[in-house]
Amino acid sequence: MGIVVKALRQVPLEEQGVEICERKGLGHPDYICDSLMDAVSVALSREYLRRFGTILHHNIDKGLLVAGEAERRFGGGEVRKPMLLVFGDRATFEAHGEIIPVEEIAVATAKEWFRRRLRFVDPEAHVRYQVELKKGSEELTDIFLRRRKREFLGANDTSAAVGYYPLTETERLVKGTEEYLNSGRFKRAFPDSGEDVKVMGLRVGGRLGLTIAMPLIDRYIGSEREYFRRKGEVLEDLRSHLAGERTMPVDLTLNTLDAEGRGMGGIYLTVLGTSAEDADCGQVGRGNRVNGIIPLHRPTSSEAAAGKNPVSHVGKIYNVLTYRMARRVYEDIPGIREVYVWLLSQIGVPIDRPQVAAAQLILEKGTRLKEVSREVEEVIASELEAAHLRRFCRDLAYGRIPIC
């Protein structure tokens, strides 16, 4: 393995004139797919560990949520046709003469996910389930049988990942705004707000605009007039919250498709709090990157981390690990403005031996590359040491590290 450290000669994103960043929140169909399919991977990993003491081949990363049909009405509408959740890709169904109930685990995990996270979705009545998980190919499955004397499995793909740190204020506010709108505190104050929150941030110069979409729940809203009153109260509450979170002016807009006087056609109401009830489908990989945002001005991996296994699939392991490395470099080593870390695997080569680990640094004025490069190399090397990497993969397996 080679570790490469280079200076990156560009203006830090915080100082560039235009910045765009997005976050899809808890009830967004794409977020649902990412979070839920990763929960299935965690459940399967736990079951494999319980039965066999090791994690077996699986990748639950081809999920699809097909929108249902609903009729919204003031005072409460109804779901006419349930959503359809499709689980796709590969898993191990049998090992050492034991049958693993993969389909049952997948469906039970999904139902529990809906119960715990979406207040108005009944996983029995509002969702149908279609399990299309199949057994893996012989060659990829065989990776799990090749461990022999090495502690780590071979990578199941030749793939690159990149992570960065720190977040800009724009990125932090976009992420934090959605998290606040789906926080327990906010939902207690506004129980009529849905979980399908999307925040788009546009910074031009020193001013940030946040365009927010968030439905209200029709059972709590008795009229169009009441809808617009509650919408105004949400904006006032959010302005008050953001006043202590920002250093630059922030302009807020909420549900900009609304049009007074058009009844149901001019307001954003839902029965269940998610547009997946009848307006929008979801798919794994179309949501947030593993640091919780969609940063359009940053290099990002094309891999969807959600649902991939945590011991051989570098599309998950390296995707998350690069962000961890970048954060450690930034926080541990003075004189760095921004850091980008790249990892490249080679299929079949153990995951602790990437083809290359590269760091690109935007340095503070007065800091020279040779002053920090050795420390950067040491941080990256330490994250690939057996003890660190073993603990990191175990944390992924148990769902201790968020991936969306």
354 within a domain of the structure (yes/no): no
Distances (CA, A) of 221 to 197, 227, 274, 291: 18, 6, 16, 35
Q: Long-range contacts made by residues 69-72, C-beta under 8 angstroms, separation at least 24? A: 69/277, 69/278, 70/270, 70/271, 70/272, 70/277, 70/278, 71/271, 72/218, 72/264, 72/269, 72/270, 72/271
Tally of domains in the chain: 1
302 within a domain of the structure (yes/no): no
3 within a domain of the structure (yes/no): no
Could you give the CA distance from residue 37 to residue 45 in angstroms, rounded to a whole number?
A: 12
Please give the residue range of the domain that contains residue 226: 15-24+168-282
Per-residue tokens: 369: 């590359």
**pTM attached to this predicted model:** 0.95
Local mean pLDDT, 10-residue blocks, the chain (404 residues): 92 97 98 98 97 94 97 97 97 94 98 98 98 76 59 90 98 98 98 98 98 98 98 98 92 97 96 97 97 97 94 96 98 98 96 97 97 98 96 97 94
For the domain that residue 269 is a member of, what is the CATH number?
3.30.300.340
232 within a domain of the structure (yes/no): yes
214 within a domain of the structure (yes/no): yes
378 within a domain of the structure (yes/no): no
334 within a domain of the structure (yes/no): no
Placement of tokens 């690109």 in the chain: 360
User: What's the burial of 159, exposed, middle or buried (CB within 10 Å: 0-12/13-18/19+)?
Assistant: buried
pLDDT of residue 148: 52
216 within a domain of the structure (yes/no): yes
* 343, 160 Cβ separation under 8 angstroms: yes
pLDDT of residue 2: 86
